[in-house]
Homo-oligomer: A and B are copies of this chain.
Amino acid sequence: MLGKRRRLALLAEGRFTPFEAKTAVGVLRYRPDQVAAVIDSTRAGRSAGECAGVGGAIPVVADVAAAAARGADSLAIGIAPQGGGLPEAWRATLRDALTRGWDVLSGLHVFLADDTELAGIAARSGARILDLRRPPERRTVAAARAAEVDALVALTVGSDCNVGKMTAALEVTRELERRGARAAFVATGQTGMMIAEGGVAVDAVVSDFAAGAIEDLVVAAARGADVVVVEGQGALHHPGYSGVTLALIAGACPRALILCHHAGRDHIRSAEGAKHPIPIPPLAELRRAYETAAAWVCPARVTGVALNTLELDERTARAACDAAARELSLPATDPVRFGAGPLAEAIAAFRGRMHAPHA
């Protein structure tokens, strides 16, 4: 992971639940072989599977020392506080890890390598601090170059933050590969970067260059792929993050969009401090919004719906997928629960039409 094989301790102090510990859950789902333990003193003694539904028997422990006893050799911050600062309570944990010579992987907006104390400890112990949100050196202003690639570019978009855009993109990529396509996943957030060994945390790029950073990634990924699946961010209806969402759309120039939604969520959850709850519009209206926004630079179609049905029982989950499919006349699935087959199939069919002689 990020340069070498690791035995990670995932820091999720006080918040190791499926919805709060987004980064930890993502890494546990897609890179469980590189996780030694999860740190959450309020849940120590339980297993990752019990707390978060992923990671099986991987133990939850109280602190760095206990994670070391389980063989950990690196620390990754597994929760993303809104605003992206470093909670003071974590400083002792980071100090402890760095003193042991552990690399620290961080997706905070605040760069740990710029913290004099932490950088000093790392320098003495030989540990590395990997700030995943550090933007790329190269500063590109996007110019719709991604619209010119031969690969089909697909982007996951959604009704809110934390509805499953990264997961849907990863599952569709895997499913396309399983079917023999050359599919490339483009990570655009810190969790995706840990899983994919690359990418850019687009929300941390200076606004003028956010679309350009994505354009660079997509153009590079398209060189070796038939399909490029880009991890989406934010939501067009989110007052704080819609700019990031549109920058992603304009930079990636997708032709296919996968609409992601958390079944049953009717208000935007991720807008802390909003005076009134912000309603999530119906799926058909979301589709229209995303297709409208895409067309400003490069026209795109929603080709399928990915529902996160984590909180529903199996029957209700199936019914939710069926209802979404009927509402949009499109394939709809929970890619984790029921597989990404229908979404991958729709992407492959869309690609076929794009390349048909008389399309």
Contact = CB atoms under 8 A, between A and B. Distances in A.
Number of this chain's copies in the assembly equals 2
A138 to B, nearest CB: 10
Contacts of A204: 206-208
A43 interface: no
Given A141-B271, A239-B251, A242-B250, 20 more contacts: A83-B141, A109-B206, A109-B208, A141-B240, A141-B241, A141-B273, A142-B239, A143-B239, A144-B276, A207-B207, A207-B243, A208-B241, A208-B244, A210-B243, A211-B239, A236-B296, A237-B297, A238-B250, A244-B247, A292-B292
B207 A206 contact: yes
Contacts of A276: 144
Interface in A75-93: 82-85
A243 B82 contact: no
A191 to B, nearest CB: 15
Interface in A194-211: 202-208, 210-211
Contacts of A244: 207-208, 243, 247
- Cβ-closest 6 pairs across A and B: A243-B247, A143-B274, A141-B240, A143-B273, A142-B240, A144-B239
Interface of A: 82-85, 109, 139, 141-145, 148, 202-208, 210-212, 215, 236-248, 250-251, 253, 271-276, 278, 289, 292-293, 296-297
Given A109-B208, A274-B143, A247 B242 contact: yes
B278 A144 contact: yes
Nearest to A110: B139
30 contacts: A83-B141, A85-B139, A109-B208, A141-B241, A142-B240, A143-B240, A143-B275, A144-B239, A145-B275, A148-B275, A203-B206, A203-B207, A204-B206, A204-B208, A206-B207, A207-B207, A207-B210, A207-B244, A207-B247, A208-B244, A211-B241, A239-B251, A239-B253, A239-B297, A242-B246, A242-B250, A242-B296, A243-B246, A243-B250, A278-B297
